[in-house]
Amino acid sequence: MEGAFTVNGKNRKFTFTPDERLLFTLRENGYTEVKNGCQEGECGACLILLDDKPVNSCQVLTASAIGKNIKTVKRIGDLHSPHIIQRAFVETGAVQCGFCTPGMIIATYALLRDNPDPSEEEIKNALDGNLCRCTGYVKIIEAVKLAAKRMKIGVMEYWSTGVVE
């Protein structure tokens, strides 16, 4: 099969098998920031934004995503232009081994986009389904709180310009 997608703002065509999961299609086409964790939708390592909704790409058939907008963590920010959320994760030490970090960043991005002033309980709910075996979540929650605090300053301007083009 073949299909057209928008990945990180660029039009792309991929070839894939009818039963292929989006996780594998993305990774086979160079999007290795989408991590292959449990392949069961339990760990959140493969989290992406599909038409701006966070989804585990291991649970999505590639064919069902044809024509849709896919954002990976690299669309949110990168090494040369990190997002406020990514900076907060680094500054609080919430990145230890880094395997869960792309999914955590995606989940945090979706949360703060929809709720710029979340309570700790709302943060925990938003991160539910993202497993981390290194940090114990304390530093991750601190990072989300720090990012939310920083993003409150000029939040409307931020959301209109905050995505790396």
Query: Mind listing the pLDDT tens digit for each residue in 120-158?
Result: 999 999 999 999 988 779 999 999 999 999 998 755 454
Summary mean pLDDT of the chain: 92
Q: For the segment 84-94, what is each residue's pLDDT rounded down to a tens digit?
A: 999 999 999 99
* C-alpha torsion angle, residues 18, 3, 13, 8 (rounded to 10): -100
Rounded Cα gap, residues 26 and 128, in angstroms: 24
Going across the sheet that includes 2-7, the strands are 10-15, 2-7, 69-71, 47-50, 53-56
Question: Where does the pLDDT of residue 110 fall: very low under 50, low under 70, confident under 90, or very high at 90 and above?
Answer: very high
Do residues 67 and 13 make contact, with C-beta atoms less than 8 angstroms apart? no
pLDDT at 101: 95
Distance CA 115, CA 12 (A): 31
Predicted confidence at residue 49, as pLDDT, reads: 98
What pLDDT is recorded for position 8? 98
pLDDT band for position 164 (50/70/90)? very low
Give 3-state DSSP helix, strand, coil % of the chain, rounded to 5.
40, 15, 40
Sign for the pseudo-dihedral over CA of 52, 55, 56, 58 = negative
Q: Which residue has the tokens 């290795």?
A: 32
Question: Residue range 34-39: average pLDDT?
Answer: 97
Q: How do the domains of the chain map onto residue ranges? A: 2-75, 77-160
CATH code for the part of the protein at 77-160:
1.10.150.120
**Amino acid 153: pLDDT:** 76
Reply yes or no on whether the pLDDT at 163 is more than 50: no
Structural fold of domain 2-75: Ubiquitin-like (UB roll) (3.10.20)
Q: Give the confidence band of 162 by pLDDT, cuts at 50, 70, 90.
A: low
Structure tokens belonging to residue 107: 């989940």
- Indicate the pTM of the whole model: 0.90
